[in-house]
Amino acid sequence: MLTPGSLVTGGLDLDDFLAHLDAALGAGDVAALQLRLKDVPDHTIRAAVRAIMPRVQDAGAAFILNDRPDLAAELGCDGVHVGQEDAPYEEARRHVGPDAIVGVTCKDSRHLAMEAAEAGADYVAFGAFFPSTTKAVTRRTDPDLLSWWNEVATVPSVAIGGITADNCGPLVQAGTDFLCIASGVWDHRGGAAAGVRAVNDAIARALEARDGT
């Protein structure tokens, strides 16, 4: 089932985030939440994981930690996401074990995606497809890459980068398995729960258009 594949946290005010988290998780289909904290001490990450992860798992979603397979293993996260500048896939897998989720950012590279899939990655992330407020975008990715991957591979794809309810339709129609959304939910004018509902509605419309139903 296609869902907003992972809600991603940006800069995190923990108390404020927790105030909106439960409503967002209960507003529609959310497969996972990825905790993304950059340039903060380990104790801050540990505190955030311990506060957020039980709520995410109680809602039936997976909890994925960004960048840090060592802490993901230590804290019992459901998985870890690594970029090309982070720990390599093999190192991440050694830390978290065979049963945890390991996802890999491949940007717009077919070669990197094939390597990650052959190594055993549970998903590959392509993007950025749009300008992002959470990280610098050096190169934009074409939705045709998602169509190609959908035809040649069985490992799920995740579309990342500046995705909102207003622009996700072409990515859904191109065949992505999951959407990774940050500001499109957390900064939604109606609040995070409204953001999740809006994305779910946009996905449904795109699927109807793609399938002719």
* Per-residue confidence band for 7, with pLDDT thresholds at 50, 70 and 90: low
Is a pLDDT exceeding 50 seen at residue 154?
yes
Asked if residue 6 lies in contact with residue 34, where contact means CB atoms within 8 angstroms, the answer is yes
Res 132: pLDDT: 77
Task: Specify the CATH number for the domain of residue 121.
Answer: 3.20.20.70
Please classify residue 137 by burial: count the beta carbons closer than 10 Å to its beta carbon, then call 0-12 exposed, 13-18 middle and 19+ buried.
middle
What is the tally of structural domains in the chain? 1
Q: Write down the pLDDT at residue 10.
A: 62
Contacts of 120 (CB under 8 A, 6+ apart): 89, 93, 102
Cis (ω within 30 of 0) for the bond into 128? yes
pLDDT band at 3 (very low <50, low <70, confident <90, very high): very low
Question: Domain residues for 189?
Answer: 3-211
Q: What is the DSSP string of the chain?
A: --EEEEEE--S--HHHHHHHHHHHHTSS---EEEE---S--HHHHHHHHHHHHHHHHHTT-EEEEES-HHHHHHHT-SEEEE-TTSS-HHHHHHHH-TTSEEEEEEET-HHHHHHHHHHT-SEEEE---S--SSS--SS---THHHHHHHHH--S-EEE-SS--TTT-HHHHHHT-SEEEESHHHHT-TT-HHHHHHHHHHHHHHHHHHHHT-
Arithmetic mean of pLDDT, 95-123 = 97
More confident residue, 76 or 84: 76
85-101 burial: b if 16+ Cβ within 10 Å, else e: ebbebeebbebbeeebb
In angstroms, the CA 157 to CA 105 distance is 10
Whether the predicted pLDDT of 42 surpasses 70: yes
Six-digit token string for 126: 């392509």
pTM for this one?
A: 0.92
